[in-house]
Amino acid sequence: MTRSTPRAFLFGLVLCLAAGIAPSAGHAADPARPYVGMQVHGMAPEISDALGINRPSAALVRDVDLDGPAARAGFRRGDVLVSLNGKGLDSFDDLVTAFGGLKPGTDVLVGVWRKGRTQELGLTVATYPEARNITKGAAGTLPHLGLGLVTITEKERENFNLEWAITGVLVAHAGADNNRTADVARGDVIILVNQDPVWTPVQVLDAFAMAAQTGHDRVLVLVRGPAGYRYVLLPTR
């Protein structure tokens, strides 16, 4: 039996290899692009031995998107994927082939090995979330705050070492001489503006403009930085 070497893939990227993507101004969502919402790691013999697995296995779940189908189905970090609809997944290539043929809306049963026991989890494949389907860079500025914002493309994700699951708008520039944004730094990611998810600079700018137009002096922003998540109040003008 041949086992795959350790490899890591975001399932959405694996599944979209045959899907078309139509770019637009900063983001695009292809309704045919499937999404499972977990990151997996190929199984090496050393991993199987450490876990005490005596059967062929395809991959180990490394992370789960908390808002994705896998999380709703009950997948956890550390689960070992062993079958799909009753058919064994003996290698990483088996997994890529099996999941690569799924379409959004498809209901499947995925066999997982967890702490010595095998169980099946019912999973409904979703369409790729618009917030994750960034195919073209876009930028915007909040001049009164000295902030430069960009979409999180794969290039920006790599350049700023952002985790695979995070979505939002990247702060690419923060004016060092502007004490109004002392709580926001270059490399931070804006997740929410007044409880609304954002993933393009235009959404952030519109949220600030709407707040100002309705008489609000500040907006509440959820930011993810090196130390974790935090809320920041920022002036609208």
Q: How far is CA 22 from the centre of its chain?
A: 19
The model's pTM is 0.77
Residue 13: the pLDDT is: 33
122: pLDDT confidence band, cut at 50, 70 and 90?
A: very high
- CA dihedral 42→46→52→53, nearest 10 degrees, is 40
Read off the tokens for 204. 């952030």
Read off the tokens for 223. 């930011």
What Rg, from alpha-carbon coordinates, does the chain have?
Answer: 21
| Residues 177-205 as b or e (16 or more Cβ within 10 Å = b) | eeeebebbeebbbbbbbeeebbbbbbbbb
- Fold: same for 8-130 and 137-235: yes
The pLDDT tens digits for 28-45 are 445 567 889 998 888 888
- Specify the CATH class of 8-130 in words: mainly beta
The average pLDDT across 159-176 equals 90
Q: Is the pLDDT of residue 110 over 60?
A: yes
The pLDDT tens digits for 197-216 are 999 999 999 999 999 999 99
CATH architecture of 137-235: Roll (2.30)
Is residue 125 within 8 Å of 72, Cβ to Cβ? no
What is the residue extent of each domain of the chain?
A: 8-130, 137-235
